[in-house]
Amino acid sequence: MLHPLIEEIQRTKRTQLADGSEVAANSFIPRDECELIYEVIAQSGATRGVETGMAYGISSLCIADALRKNSATSRLVSIDPSQTDGWHGAAIHLLLRAGFTPEVIEEPSQLALPRLVREGQRFDFGFIDGWHTFDHTLIDFFYIDMLLENGGFIVLDDVGYPAINAAVRFILANRDYELVKALTYEIRAPMAVRRAIKRMLRPLARTDRDPSPQHELLFRRVERAHAIAIRKRGADTRRFDHYERF
């Protein structure tokens, strides 16, 4: 069951700012992704979360509310360099309205996350919805992985973006994470047919540069995903020159 303020914003597509004014909430995660966050946090018993990207705060409130259901002393660290200047503090105000004390770092995640690592901080849950390029997504994952306990979960948003999908494929092929759940969107019939034909023809043109068949089957599960949940199975024990095609 989602927090009532989340239900309200999902229904009205509007949110309140600190000065009492209302604005159109035109950027937030959909309901099924909210439910995914609640589901994996409940499943893992997580009490400590970290996220990159806040926007209007729907994901932030989902995470904070789900963590609090596990512990009254739960903690969420949110990183968003544009929360005040770009989003007018909407997410911060939403968390305050819901009775939370926001812990917000307003600087780029590639600077904030390494500092959390140096401080020895630990988390059970991570949410990645920051800058949507391949390198930024992978950097967010790299440092959140260093902060994450074994058995912890990460949810990645906007997996349909080619850059983020590529980062997800790299993670699944090269890091010790399992795909727990993928939320998919419907595609038009002509596109589905084209993708089916490409899959049929791919073995005929396979080279040693293609991903392994095992990984290709895994990649199909995220091909039409808009969000995924992955679970950390263990510490990074790769050789210094490890590489799997993705």
DSSP 138-190: HHHHHHHHHHEEEEEEEEEE-TTSHHHHHHHHHHHHHSSEEEEEEEE----HH
- Which secondary structure element, helix H or strand E, spans residue 104, and what is its range? strand 103-105
Write the pLDDT tens digit of every residue in 86-105: 999 999 999 999 999 999 99
pLDDT at 24 over 90: yes
Which token pair is 146? Answer: 């260093």
The predicted structure's pLDDT at residue 1: 87
pLDDT at 242 over 60: yes
- Which secondary structure element, helix H or strand E, spans residue 35, and what is its range? helix 31-44
Which token pair is 78? Answer: 């949110």
Q: State the amino acid at position 130 in one-letter form.
A: G
Write the pLDDT tens digit of every residue in 172-221: 999 999 999 999 987 554 555 555 555 555 565 556 678 999 899 999 99
Q: What is the pLDDT of the chain when averaged over all its residues?
A: 93
* 35-39, 100-104, 121-125, 210-214: the lowest-pLDDT one: 210-214
Of all residues in the chain, what percent carry a pLDDT higher than 70? 91
Q: CA nearest 184: which of 229, 139, 134, 216? A: 229
Q: What is the CA radius of gyration of the chain?
A: 19
Cβ pair 132, 158 in contact under 8 A = yes
* Residue 39 pLDDT class (50, 70, 90 cuts): very high
Question: What region, left, alpha or beta, does residue 243 occupy, with left being phi > 0 and alpha being psi -120 to 50 degrees?
Answer: beta
